[in-house]
Structure 1
């Protein structure tokens, strides 16, 4: 009886030891997995365990990590190729369209009958819409690619904003709408890419014209070390869900179906602002939609 008790005790001790060793090995492996996931490390997992199943399990996890990394690299490669293809195709389309627009301008200035001029005007308008759409796709593909240049320099916010607003004077006139502009006389500078910032301002004004039904306001306010540029307009058929998702590429494009726009304007704004470390804020209150871009002021 004593012998049996001793044997049972030894067996229990062995199983207990194996259990604690297995638990220790699994705990160490779990810690390594979490560390790799948190740090996005590419290091191969190792184990000091003598348990064959633990060793095989570690090998399986390493295989899964390797497959994940390969899939990620393949996706990046395909995504980059797609962006480059879109950029190249857009560029190929822009060249003949530019020629068409040039000929339309010449025809509109020539001695044509009113009926013919009306037809040319329609062609010119549609060609411009197509040109803007292709330009959006071209710019978006370039901005999202790794080779998009960012040239940082001192930028006069007031002067740049005035220039961009002036470019849209005829658009506001065509809509028979007035715009409330509030820009200080003092010079306010920031560090940014002037072309990228110009595109941000331009796209935000285009968005006002496209979705707004009046109440257009553009304001530049200086608060401590920041410049707040707000673009405000009245809207209809816009709820909080629209506002929360308005910068999403797929959602914006879905909203644009059936129109002459790509729906990429605000997605481009978001990406450029991110590249330039400028902050964006937006709100919807009492059918007033406002987007605000915040720039750091430099002396």
Structure 2
């Protein structure tokens, strides 16, 4: 029998003083830099109880004030989308303010290309349920993601048109298209690969496990679509991407699988190199 430890933390509802976080952007870009995406992802993991109260967007001194103001607003919306997708609370009265040229500039232009958001941390009554097995599983999963992330760019570099690249550790919640948080570094790496290779065109293939009905491709389709939407949200052109759900029609291991390792291998994402 698994030993389950349940910790109930009864904490009064109260707010801390307002804090802030900065997200930086490359020149003329509405998508955060890779470094900032990684830092923001870590902040999200550590601040699930945050509530966003104000978001300010900035640009460097290049171009006219109205263009910069529009770009600053797109940067604000980009950051808000990231926060909302990870269920960070946005205040009903959140203040959104883009700046064109009407703010105090830093002498370093890269420091002006940013979004600053302000937040408070609130604690509520919550229950934390942990098992030794779950902790070990999560740790192992994170290590696998880190290892695969470090190898992914090299796989794409070596791949030829028509090759399939299997991504094993983009994992989804059971019977859902919601991606598990620990898998996000792989999505960020895929996004960066597409940024770095502007001629690269791909097809996203979704696969599931366990279902012997080959006609049922809906879940795999939705999972591939989620990845497609993630990439286009960060301004990867639609004409560089396509997606398809294969259901359980192309399993690595015969369905029904014999164990969890085989099921995990079958529910995967593959990337077809369409052009590069």
TM-score of the pair, normalised by structure 2:
0.26
Greater strand content: 2
Greater helix content: 1
Instruction: With a CA cutoff of 8 Å and minimum separation of 6, indicate the structure with the bigger relative contact order.
Output: 2
**Bigger Cα Rg:** 1
